[in-house]
Amino acid sequence: MKTIKILVLFITSLFFFQACKTDKIALKLDLKEGKTYTMKTTVKQNMTQTIQGNTQEIQTDITAVLDYKITGRSGDTMSIDLIYSKMNLSMKSPFINMAINSDQPQEGNVMYDIISQLIGQKISLKVLNTGEVVYMSDFGEVMDAILETIQLPEGYNEDQMKQQFNRSFGEGSIAGNFKLMFEYLPEKPVKEGGNWETTTETDFMIKGLYESEWTLKEIKDRIAVIEGETDITAERTAVETGMQQFPVEMEMTGTQNTLLNVDKSTGWIESGEANIKMEMKLFTSNPQMGEMEIPMSIDMTVQYSSVE
């Protein structure tokens, strides 16, 4: 009789364990009003391009620290003040060797002047718990204020600088990057080992389509470990940077592998890394050189870490 009781207890505990393992969790962006969340993002990019048989390598490193201050909540919508806290930028190529740190002044460097003026600027957002940005304050006013305080280099005008920096820091860029950063959020609750798919379109540099499959690999205390595989495509599209004298078009394909540690109660990334490989073609023409097709390969690593 004792043996039977032990067997019943074992079977009962086994079913209980399996039930716990299949509990589903709802992963949504649920940031607390009055709290500031700080994210450090580090991007390391190596780009190889071939122009008329000459191969060039361009290495770019960017580290940015951004504060997300939650100023209000209304249902599933959060009001957020996004503030640039720090930024480092370095670029190496056969034609340029540049390093900029927002904490280290560089007299006469227009890039430093713009980045240093960007530090501390506030951009107001309204964001859904899916990570979608539904409102953003006018970045153009921020850019106008910055340009009034700096001396533009010879050959540049304000319209060109606005277009160039809107690509990196403007409404489309911020909203697009925000949505991509939180692309892993599922529409429905998922269980450990569960899979879901997301599709995200962007239009802040080139019209791109990101098709991802995600897996909730593991739940460890308050952390959800999420893994993702993404296919990236962009059809041949005109690109306007404000700098080129001749028409430019670009097409792109690529893949991204992502591993994230996410706070399951807030949906916020505690740490993570994305490895991206892209093949691009740039098409242009001019009277001297005629039609040109420039192949480009990009290897990029993006690291996220939440800062207390």
Tell me the mean pLDDT in the region 81-110. Answer: 88
Please give the backbone phi and psi of residue 168, each rounded to the nearest 5 degrees, phi first. Answer: -95, -35
Question: How far apart are the C-alpha atoms of 89 and 43, rounded to whole Å?
Answer: 10
Instruction: For residue range 176-207, list pLDDT tens digits in order.
Output: 788 888 999 999 999 999 999 999 888 766 77
Residue 114, classed as helix, strand or coil, is helix
Give the 3-state secondary structure percentages of the chain, helix then strand then coil, rounded to 5. Answer: 20, 55, 25
Where in 75-148 does DSSP place strands (E)? 77-92, 97-101, 122-128, 133-136
pLDDT in tens, 236-268: 888 765 555 678 888 999 999 999 999 999 999
Q: What is the pLDDT of residue 188?
A: 92
* Band (214; pLDDT cuts 50, 70, 90): very high
Tell me the pLDDT band of 147, cut-offs 50, 70 and 90: confident
- Say yes or no to pLDDT of 158 above 70: no
Helix residue ranges, H only, 122-220? 139-147, 158-169, 171-181
- Comparison of pLDDT for 180 and 300, the residue scoring more: 300
pLDDT for res 17: 44
Which DSSP helix (H) or strand (E) runs through 7? helix 2-21
Nearest by Cα to 308 from 36, 47, 63, 51: 36
Rounded to 5°, the CA angle 245-248-249 comes to 170
Average pLDDT over residues 16-22: 46
- Rounded Cα distance, 291 and 269, in Å: 45
Element (H, E) at 23: none
Length of the chain: 308
Q: Give the pLDDT mean for 158-164.
A: 67
Note if the pTM is more than 0.95: no
Single-letter amino acid code for the residue at 157: N
pLDDT in tens, 101-126: 988 888 778 778 888 888 988 889 99
Contact by Cβ (8 Å): 211, 199? yes
Domains of the chain in start order, with CATH, are 32-307 (2.30.230.10)
Contact 147, 162 (CB under 8 A): yes
List Cβ<8 Å contacts ≥24 apart for 274-278: 274/301, 274/302, 275/300, 275/301, 276/232, 276/300, 276/301, 276/302, 278/232, 278/252, 278/253, 278/254
Query: What's the token pair of residue 18?
Result: 């399996």
**Interatomic CA distance for residues 63 and 44, integer angstroms:** 9
Residues 259 and 273 sit within 8 Å (Cβ to Cβ): yes
- Cα(167)–Cα(173) distance, integer angstroms: 6
Residue whose pair of structure tokens reads 């209980």 in the numeric block? 16
Which one-letter amino acid corresponds to residue 286?
N
